[in-house]
Amino acid sequence: MQTERESHGRIIFHVDANSFFASCEIVRDPSLQKKPVVVAGDPKERKGIVLAASYVAKQQFGIYTTMPLWEAKKRCPSLVVRPPDFALYREVSRRLFQCLQRFSPVLERASIDEGYLDMTGRTPTVHPLALAHHIQQELLERLSIPVSIGIAPNKFLTKMASDMKKPLGITVLRKRDVPRVLWPLPVEHMHGVGDKMAKKLHALGLHTIGDLAKADRERLRQTFGIYGLRLQEKANGIDPRPVDPVAAEKRKSIGHSTTLPYDMDEEQNLLVVLRQLAESVSARMNEKRVVSRTVQLTIRYYDFQTITRSQTGMDPLWDAEDIFSYAVRLFQKHWDGRPVRLLGVAALHVFDRTGAVKQLDLFHYEKEAKMEPLWKTVEQLQAKFGARALQIGVEPLSSDRQTKEGEER
């Protein structure tokens, strides 16, 4: 890993497409350019929420992502609504990253609409600010996609910078700017701090990024482990992570295990522990903005015999209820009734999520949108004949896998 001294002098760009889904729809139909546009699911079905809003819709009518579509229409009766076209968004994303690749081969795709470029040593005769303007203009001319660009010496600062001016913003954030620019901000505005983490930081009396930067390191370590220390480093403008072109392909896991206060054989009590573990794993996944398709359960019995079993599904997951559901199914299949000494839950092979909330996950939404006619039929039958008249089957478990317990690789 690079030290702070070794990383000094790096030039990192974070390129973030503005209102990407809505921008793609405007590319397809330029007559929408100055109109309030949203991409949203069918309001007659369960996905009637705003997936993306143009800046006209945002700034003039206060419409935001995840707002119910009925409320968006109430705020703006002339709202233009487009159904999501995932094939279009993937194709525009492919072309966008193809363009970015021309400026630097050291390109890390963070999601469908944002990525990091390591420009260190690639701008000997052109100022980075001028190059950012050139990239921004080229993406507008070639793809008609507006982007905001952050320029900084590391990934954390450049991500924070790109969020500061939207749309079509370019922001330079140097390490020496951190006390003046970042420290006064609420801690929940910090990249990597989700709602749950923010509440925990508030409970410690840490309300701003500056509070976190100057907090007692040992207290952070005891409360949050290594993640708390890494957050504090970022709050001080330190982030040695390289721009990694294959980061999304690397496999790692997020897990949590606990030794029970006594050897426990009451199923309800064990399920309570599983729920707590699922919530812990979910919180860490949200902080790291990752998802997984595989949940692993670890059971260590009173005699120290240990088993690990996993289940893989089709859809990305990170919500505590989904993780808990997988863990319960594994537990009920593989627990033999003996007293349990330790339980562990882990999400294996995590990867960056493509949206901020479940409704915005591109692939999850696409799959569920295709299921809408079935859900609608099921709901109609249950309304007519009763809730137990028709039930959806449970997907078979995948083959068991042996892995180490409670690790984060």
By DSSP bridging, strand 170-172 and strand 50-53 are unpaired
Lowest mean pLDDT among 14-23, 121-130, 139-148: 121-130
- Residue 87: exposure state from Cβ atoms within 10 A (0-12, 13-18, ≥19): exposed
Mean pLDDT estimate for the chain = 83
Cα separation, 196 vs 201, whole angstroms: 9
pTM of the model: 0.64
Partners of residue 340 on adjacent β-strands? 264, 301
If one counts every other C-beta atom within 10 angstroms of the C-beta of residue 224, the result is: 19
Sign, CA dihedral 116-120-122-127, equals: positive
Q: Show Cβ contacts of residue 114 under 8 Å, excluding neighbours closer than 6 positions.
A: 14, 15, 16, 17, 162
Q: Catalytic one among 25, 108, 114, 279?
A: 114
pLDDT digits (tens, 9 = 90+) for 388-404: 444 443 333 333 333 33
Ordered by where they begin, the domains of the chain are 4-17+88-177 (3.30.70.270), 20-86 (3.40.1170.60), 180-235 (1.10.150.20), 250-409 (3.30.1490.100)
pLDDT of amino acid 3: 39
| Model confidence band, residue 295 (pLDDT cutoffs 50, 70, 90) | very high
- Tokens 């808990």 sit on residue: 324
pLDDT of amino acid 249: 60
Whether residue 245 has a cis bond before it, omega within 30° of 0: no
Three-state secondary structure call for residue 289: coil
By DSSP bridging, strand 37-40 and strand 12-17 are unpaired
Residues annotated in a binding site: 16, 113
408 is catalytic: no
